[in-house]
Amino acid sequence: MATAAAAASRRLRLLARCGSLSPLLSAALARSSRGLRALCSLSTTLRSGAGEDEIERIRREFEDAKRNYLSIPAAIKDMPKMNPQGIYVNKNVKLDDLQVYGFDYDYTLSHYSEHLQCLIYDLAKKHLVNELKYPESCLKYEYDRSFPIRGLYYDKLKGCLLKLDFFGSIEPDGCFFGRRKLSLSEIKELYGTRHIGRDQARQLVGLMDVFCFSEACLIADIVQHFIDAKLEFDASYVYEDVNQSIQHVHRSGLIHRQILSDPQKFLIKKSQVFRFLKMLREKGKKLFLLTNSPFYFVDGGMRYLLEDQHFDGNSWRELFDVVIAQANKPTFYNSDHPFRVYDTQKDTLAFTAVDKFLPDQVYYHGCLKSFLQITNWRGSEVIYFGDHLFSDLRGPSKAGWRTAAVIRELEDEIEIQNGDSYRFQQAKLSIIHDLLGKVNATVVSTEKGQVYRALLDELNAERRHCRSGMRDLFNSSFGATFLTDTGRESSFAYHIHQYADIYTSKLENFLSYPPESWLHPPHDIKIMPHNAKVPASLFSTS
């Protein structure tokens, strides 16, 4: 209303100056204009006064809430809890329509102990020093399992490890330069804003699979070494060298030989996985194995994992219609590489063309185009299980396959979210967000601005306290994998939402679902179906 009056007043003055109005009319309209301004001033005063009353009301509501925090556990005790072993759905999947099941090997069919991350870290660290001539003082660093989480990004331009939210913004407590967490002011000074623009995003490298834990930790430690030594360095070189060392550990076979030399230390037996595979075979489903690992490593691991399951010799291969090793994913999905028959006895590749898959053969390399031509399996009847969102699932998703992500952290994070401590802080946070929304929507006069600011500061402090309490229940450095401290889904959750039709913590969870199940996302879920929210209305009703 004030804006309209000001505009009308300006138009009246302009007409009067131009002589377009008679003196009498000009005087009358001038009086009218003054009246409009007075009325608008009165309206603003009334709204300001009402705003001040509203601030006092919100203050009382906040004080009541603080006094009644102890009643929150009673209010949330009957809220349903999410199933840590559940299957969570982003897109409808009718299991009965799936005729072909494909599997990655590492962290999908096989699972590893924490010793593996330490081994990868140590081998890569030694490669940096012995082959790439990094200072010997780098050898003092050890893998810190409490530091990294999956789904981080490394900025090759600025040298920071970042945790991003669903919309590509840096989490306020999720930016590390070396092993030091940067403050919000430092983040804004470095990036200008928390949001990562398109040009900046080109400098980011995603660390999305479980093997990236050791890589993220080693990157941070090497950056910290240069900082402590007060040496200039190029952040992109650090990434290239660390990544080259990590790749060397895998491609040279160092890691494979170490694991097979002591499988009890590194491999975790899970008999239910193979019960699931046998159930699929009994239902007449087709199964294939598609992995980047070499055959001897997969064979040794499967033999160990199945030694207590009454499997003998090579019979684990009888579970699969097709076995493909060293597939070179994600290149597999968009290349024209031919398949080669691998001789398991001579460790050689045949030169004859592959135009059909035989159950007693092992195949190397290949591509999706040839795979579909040979098998005649239609995309909608195929589902592929993997742990790496980019290497395993992005290609199949674009090719029309159904996709399933195996995310081992999911089970632990749901257990935490189901706990009383997390739900208590989440309920408090919901109440604070509700009150903050009311405060920010309230208009107050300049004279009462101090009261408004004091309440806003108190609410923001309480919000920070709640976020910290929730964060501390997860990873001490970066918090939860799927959520940011602000309660938004993380960038990692975004990629799951984008590339995984369904996701779960481990394969054997499917044993709890009938093979003819129709999996569909809950109708009231906005983004991630496993993230249950505690509404503020629940507390106020109680």
pLDDT in tens, 331-361: 999 999 999 999 999 999 999 999 999 988 9
β-bridge mates for residue 339, sequence order: 365
The pLDDT score that the predictor gives to residue 35 is 42
> In this structure, are residues 533 and 430 in contact, taking their beta carbons and an 8 Å threshold?
yes
20 or 285: which carries more pLDDT confidence?
Answer: 285
> In this structure, are residues 79 and 533 in contact, taking their beta carbons and an 8 Å threshold?
no
Distance of alpha carbon 477 from alpha carbon 47, whole angstroms:
45
19 or 420: which carries more pLDDT confidence?
Answer: 420
Binding residues for Mg(2+): 104, 387
- CATH superfamily label, 99-111+267-395: HAD superfamily/HAD-like (3.40.50.1000)
> In this structure, are residues 355 and 374 in contact, taking their beta carbons and an 8 Å threshold?
yes
- Measured on CA atoms in the order 39, 40, 44, 47, is the torsion positive or negative? positive
The pLDDT score that the predictor gives to residue 59 is 86
Among candidate residues 97, 106, 241, 485, the one labeled active-site is 106
Among candidate residues 104, 173, 241, 299, the one labeled active-site is 104
- 104 counts as catalytic: yes
> In this structure, are residues 500 and 404 in contact, taking their beta carbons and an 8 Å threshold?
yes
Residues in the chain: 542
Integer-rounded Cα radius of gyration of the chain: 30
Residue 376 falls in which region: left (phi positive, over 0), alpha (psi -120 to 50) or beta: left
Q: How confident is the model at residue 16 (pLDDT cuts 50, 70, 90)?
A: very low
- CB atoms under 10 Å from CB of 205, counted, come to 17
pLDDT digits (tens, 9 = 90+) for 208-217: 988 899 999 9
Q: What are the residue ranges of CATH 3.40.50.1000 in the chain? A: 99-111+267-395
Distance of alpha carbon 471 from alpha carbon 172, whole angstroms:
12
Average pLDDT of the segment spanning 418-433: 90
The pLDDT score that the predictor gives to residue 312 is 55
- 457 counts as catalytic: no
Binding residues for GMP: 106
Q: How confident is the model at residue 197 (pLDDT cuts 50, 70, 90)?
A: confident
- Measured on CA atoms in the order 132, 224, 120, 409, is the torsion positive or negative? negative
Amino acid (one-letter) located at 118: C
DSSP string, 170-236: EEEEEEEETTEEPPHHHHHHHHSSSBPPHHHHTTEEEE-STTHHHHHHHHHHHHHHHHHTT----HH
Half-sphere exposure of 106 (CA within 13 A, CB side): 23
Amino acid (one-letter) located at 431: I
> In this structure, are residues 429 and 76 in contact, taking their beta carbons and an 8 Å threshold?
no
pLDDT digits (tens, 9 = 90+) for 294-326: 999 999 999 999 887 766 555 899 999 999 999
Mean pLDDT (the chain, rounded): 86
Average pLDDT of the segment spanning 368-397: 92
**Helix/strand/coil percent split, the chain, to 5:** 50, 15, 35
Average pLDDT of the segment spanning 463-475: 91
Q: How confident is the model at residue 76 (pLDDT cuts 50, 70, 90)?
A: confident
Which of 146-160, 186-200, 276-290 is least confident?
186-200
Reduced to 3 states (helix: H, G, I; strand: E, B; else coil), residue 137 is helix
The pLDDT score that the predictor gives to residue 48 is 46
Angle subtended by helix axes 212-228 and 115-130, to nearest 10: 50
Distance of alpha carbon 155 from alpha carbon 168, whole angstroms:
13
Binding residues: 104, 106, 387
| Chain position carrying tokens 């204009």 | 33
